[in-house]
Structure 1
Amino acid sequence: MLYIYGLILFLSLGYGALMASYCFFWARLAPSFLNPNYQPKKKISIVLAARNEEEHIESCLRSLLAQDYPPELMEIVLVDDHSEDATRSIAQGFQDDRLQIIALQKGLGKKAALAQAIAAAQGEYLLFTDADCQLPPLWAKQLCFPMEQENMQFVAAPVLFSYHNRFLEKAQALDFMGMMAITGAGINGQYMRMCNGANMAYPKARYIELNGFAGMDQLASGDDMLFLQKVAEKYPQQITFVKSLEAAVQTPAVQTYAAFWRQRLRWSSKSGAYKDRRTELQLGLVWAFSCSLFISSIALFFGFSPYWVLGQWALKALADYGLLSSASRFFQRRQLLRIFWPALLAHLLYIVLVGTASLFPQNYQWKGRSWR
C-alpha cells in the first residue's frame, strides 16, 4: 500500500507542478499588439481544405474576403475534398479574383487537399484555417506580422469554440480555452509545442525545405502539430504564439457526444507519432494522474483513504481553476466558469476514457470516411 500512496503522491506533485508552469508561462506571454504603422509587403496564400461544409463555407469565405489586408497581396486557395453536398457550388458563387477553387485530384483527406493547395499557392507566407471557422478582420495581419517583422518560421494562434446554451458545447468551449492557454504557455516556455491547424501560419519555403507532410501520410490528421515539430527541430527559437483576440478564430463545438468522442479520438490518434518526447511526457503525466484520481475515487468504496482522494481532487480543482480563470479573463469568457464543477468531473472522465482508447489502434469516422 505504501507504494500506491507513493505513486499517487508522485503523480499529484507532477501534475501540480506542470499546471503551475502553464499558469506561469501563460501569464508571462505578452499580449500581441499590431503596430498601427504596419503595412504588409508580403503576398499571402490562405489555404484551406473543405469537405461537406455547406453549412459553414459561405460565412467562412466572407470573413476571409473581409480581411484587412492589401487585396493585391492576398489569395485564398480552397481545395474541395470530394464534397457530397453543396460546398463547392456555394464557394463558386463568390465572384472574387482572390478566391481560387480547386477539386482534389490525388488522394483523400485533409493533408492531401492541403498539399494540393500549397502546390498551387503563390504567396510567400501560408496561412491555414478550416472551412467551418469565422475569422476576425485583422487575423491575417496578426499572423503575418511575426513572420515579416520578427523572422518567425511558425506562428500559432488561438482557436475558440462557439457554443450555445448546452452543457456539452460549453464544456468543450471551456476545455479548449484552457488548451489554448497551455499551447501559448508551452511555446513561450519552449517545453511543449502544440498548435491547431485551424489557426497557424508559416513561410512556404519551410514547407518545401522540410519536405511537407512526408512521414505522416498514414494519419488522417497531423498537418498541424507534426509539421510544427518538424519546424521546431531546425528552428527552435523561431516559433511563436499570437496572444490576441484579433487573431483568434472561432469554430462550432460539436453537437453530440458521439461526435465529440470521434473528434477527440481522431486528435489523440497522432500522439504516437510525436517526435517531441517532452510533449509526450506531459500528456502522459496528465493521463496517468487522471487515471490515478479516477481509480482512487472508485477505491473509496473499498476502504481507500478519503483524505488522499480529497487531496487529489482539491489539487486538480485548484490547478485547473487557476489556469482556466486566467484564460477566461484574457479571452473574455468568464461566464464559462459557471460550469466549472460539472466540467471538472467530465474532463476527468474524458481524459481517462479517450487517453486509454488512444493506446489501442482502432477505426474512427471523420467526414463520412473511416480512418485508422
Structure 2
Amino acid sequence: MILSFLYIIALLYFLFNLVLIFTWLRFREVGKDYTFPQTTRISVIIPVRNEAENILNLLEDLNDQTYPFENFEVIVANDSSTDSTAELVKDFQKKAHFKLILNNLSADKSLSPKKRAITESLKIATGELIMTTDGDCRSGKNWILAVQQYFLEKQAKLISSPVTFHSRKGLWSNLQIIEFSSLIGSGACAMFMKKPNMCNGANLAYTREAFFEVGGFSGFEHLASGDDEFLMHKIAGQFPEKVFFLKNQDAIVETNAQETLHDFYNQRKRWASKWKFYERMNVKALAIFVFLTNFCWILTVPGLISGSLSLSDFISLTVIKFSAEMIILSLFLSFLRKSALIWLVPVVQVIYPFYVSFFGLLAQGKGYEWKGRKLQ
C-alpha cells in the first residue's frame, strides 16, 4: 500500500516535470530585433536598505542602458539605511545620464518595509511602466529595452523577467544558483500556461494603471514578504491574459546569493512563509504537492536502510523522480547562462528533498530576521 503510494507520487512528479519540459521548449526565446518605438515612460524603483557595497554597480549598469535616458527615471527608495547608501546615491546624481531620485523614507516600523518603499515611490513616479529591482542586482545594457519592447508587443499588465545569482567561485553559491533556477524556471512555465504562481521582485514590471486598479498591496500589507507574488496574483486575477514571463537573456538580472547559512535560512524561511497566505487553491496545491513529493523520497532512505524497501524499488523511485527533473533543470540553467553548473545538478537533487521538507515545516512558524529587522 505504502509502496504503491510512493510510486504514484513519483510518477505524478515525473509527469509534472515532463509538462514543464514541453512547456519550456514550446515557448521559444523572444526575438531581439526591438522594432517598437522606444518612447514608453518608465520608472525603475529600487527599494534599498544598507546597500552601500552594491548600489553603485547597479547605478553604473543603468547608466549604460541602451534605452533612451530621457524616457526613464530611477527612484532609489532608501529605507533608513545606517551605512553610506544615501550619500553614494546622492553623489551619483551628478554623473547619472538619467533622472535619478533619492527618496529617503521616514523612519517607520512598518510590517512590510519593501511594500511601503514601492508605494511611497509610486507617489512621485512619472512612468507608465513600473520596473522594480533590488540594490544588490546587476543588469545588462538592454535590460530596460527588452522589458519595454515586450510590454508593447503584448500590451502586458505585468511582466516577470529572469533572475539568477552572480557566478562566484565556491560550491555554496553554485548550489544556490541551481536551486534558484528551479524556482525561476517553473514560475516561467506556469505563466506560459496562464497559471502564474511565482515571480521575483528583483525583476518585475507592471503598469501603474494595473497596480492601482487592483488596489496595490491592499489585502496583504500585513505581510513583510509578497511585494511580488501576491501583487502578481491580484493582477492575474483581474487581467488573466495580460501576465507574461519574458524569456529573453537580455532581460536577465543577477543578484547575490546568500553568503552565510544564517542569511540563507532567513531568506528561504521568508519565501516559504508565503504559501499559506495564497488565495488561489491551485498555487497552494502545487506547493503541497512539491513538498509531499520530496518528503516521500526522503522516506525511501530509512526504508532502504531498514530493509522495508528493496534496493530495486529505491533505485526505481529515485530514477523516476530525478530523471525528468534533471532535464528541466539543465534547460533552465542553459537559458540563464549557467550551463557550466549542470554537472552539479545531481548533488542538488539529493539535497533538495531535505531542504524542501525542512523549510516546508518551518514555514508553519512565525517571524524571521531580514536586513537587521525582525519581521512577520
TM-score band, normalised by shorter chain: over 0.9
Q: 1:136, 1:247 within 8 Å by CA — same for their partners in 2?
A: yes
User: How big is each residue's C-alpha offset from its partner over 1:249-279, in whole Å with a ceiling of 9 and x where there is no partner?
Assistant: 0001111122111111001111111122212
| 18-27 vs 221-230, greater mean Cα deviation | 18-27
Matches of 2:66 and 2:148, distance apart in 1:
12
Structure-to-structure mapping, 1:1-372, within 5 angstroms: 2=1, 4-94=2-92, 95=94, 96=96, 98-105=99-106, 107=108, 108=110, 109-306=113-310, 307-358=312-363, 360-372=364-376
| 124-133 vs 296-305, greater mean Cα deviation | 296-305
Secondary structure of the residue aligned to 1:323 is helix
Secondary structure of the residue aligned to 2:139 is coil
Matches of 1:56 and 1:90, distance apart in 2:
10
| 166-175 vs 305-314, greater mean Cα deviation | 305-314
Matches of 1:336 and 1:226, distance apart in 2:
31
Q: 2:291, 2:357 within 8 Å by CA — same for their partners in 1?
A: yes
User: How big is each residue's C-alpha offset from its partner over 1:266-303, in whole Å with a ceiling of 9 and x where there is no partner?
Assistant: 01111111122212211211110111111221222222
| Equivalent residue letter for 2:163 | V
Matches of 1:273 and 1:347, distance apart in 2:
23
Q: 1:161, 1:253 within 8 Å by CA — same for their partners in 2?
A: yes
| Equivalent residue letter for 1:70 | P
Report the CA distance between 1:183 and its aligned residue. Answer: 1.7
| Equivalent residue letter for 2:210 | R
Report the CA distance between 1:38 and its aligned residue. Answer: 2.8
Q: CA RMSD in A?
A: 1.4
User: How big is each residue's C-alpha offset from its partner over 1:81-122, in whole Å with a ceiling of 9 and x where there is no partner?
Assistant: 101111111111111361000111364411111111111111
Report the CA distance between 1:237 and its aligned residue. Answer: 0.8
Q: 1:106, 1:112 within 8 Å by CA — same for their partners in 2?
A: no
Secondary structure of the residue aligned to 2:174 is helix
| Equivalent residue letter for 2:316 | G
Q: 2:18, 2:324 within 8 Å by CA — same for their partners in 1?
A: yes
Report the CA distance between 1:190 and its aligned residue. Answer: 1.7
Q: 1:192, 1:278 within 8 Å by CA — same for their partners in 2?
A: no
Number of residue pairs aligned between Structure 1 and Structure 2: 369
| Equivalent residue letter for 2:331 | S
Report the CA distance between 1:15 and its aligned residue. Answer: 1.0
Matches of 1:348 and 1:339, distance apart in 2:
15
How much identity, in percent, do the aligned residues show? 26
Report the CA distance between 1:362 and its aligned residue. Answer: 2.3
Give TM-score, length-normalised by structure 2. Answer: 0.95
Report the CA distance between 1:165 and its aligned residue. Answer: 2.0
Matches of 1:164 and 1:34, distance apart in 2:
28
Matches of 2:107 and 2:151, distance apart in 1:
31
Q: 1:34, 1:145 within 8 Å by CA — same for their partners in 2?
A: no
Report the CA distance between 1:158 and its aligned residue. Answer: 0.2
Report the CA distance between 1:332 and its aligned residue. Answer: 2.7
Q: 1:48, 1:117 within 8 Å by CA — same for their partners in 2?
A: no
Secondary structure of the residue aligned to 1:120 is coil
Secondary structure of the residue aligned to 2:88 is helix
Structure 1 consecutive aligned stretches of length 4 or more whose deviation exceeds 3 Å: none
Matches of 2:232 and 2:268, distance apart in 1:
20
| Equivalent residue letter for 2:173 | E
Matches of 1:113 and 1:64, distance apart in 2:
20
Distance 1:172 1:60, change over 3 A: same
| 269-278 vs 126-135, greater mean Cα deviation | 269-278
Matches of 1:201 and 1:106, distance apart in 2:
27
| 171-180 vs 327-336, greater mean Cα deviation | 327-336
Give TM-score, length-normalised by structure 1. Answer: 0.95
Q: 1:29, 1:184 within 8 Å by CA — same for their partners in 2?
A: no
Report the CA distance between 1:212 and its aligned residue. Answer: 0.6
Q: 2:21, 2:327 within 8 Å by CA — same for their partners in 1?
A: yes
Q: 2:80, 2:107 within 8 Å by CA — same for their partners in 1?
A: no
